[in-house]
Structure 1
């Protein structure tokens, strides 16, 4: 029996059981949950990096966005507040859409 020891989406246990298998789970405490969200975000970022098709890449981005929503809930921050911060930072420092790649800065 494979051992995963990782954060999964909320409906995964039901999906496993609907497939005729059994699984064991535990509900994480808040601090541990946040740490596992961070670890899962790294996992999803690596999967995004390794995606070969646009469809795969978009699916990984959707997973990362779901993790962002979970983290925001844990911090007590709304998605709208995050979006306001994103816009503020974009106005102050720009976005990432132009593909500007900093090579070096000389004193």
Structure 2
């Protein structure tokens, strides 16, 4: 009997049980939930880094985005509010589309 002790998507227990297996789950406190979201983000980031195919990388990015939305909700923000904050930062400081790699800064 495998022991996982990790945050899973909401329908995973249902999917496992449809295959004839039984699951043991519990609902996390808000503090535990935020901590487990962070752990899951690391797991998904590793999977993104290790994905070889573009389609696999996009799938892992979608998983990361789902976790970002979950973390934002715990912090009281909707995906739209998070996007608004992202857009404000991009307007003020730029995005990353120009591929600028800062090598060094010389003090005057």
What TM bracket, shorter-length normalisation? over 0.9
1:82 CA displacement: 0.9
Q: Residue in 2 aligned with 1:84? A: 84
Structure 1 CA distance, aligned partners of 2:106 and 2:44? 36
How many aligned positions are there?
107
Moved >3 Å (runs of 4+): none
1:80 CA displacement: 1.4
Q: Residue in 1 aligned with 2:11? A: 11
Structure 1: runs of 5 or more not aligned: none
Structure 2: runs of 5 or more not aligned: none
TM (normalized to structure 2)?
A: 0.94
TM (normalized to structure 1)?
A: 0.95
Work out whether 1:75 is the aligned partner of 2:75. yes
Structure 2 CA distance, aligned partners of 1:105 and 1:36? 38
Q: Residue in 2 aligned with 1:24? A: 24
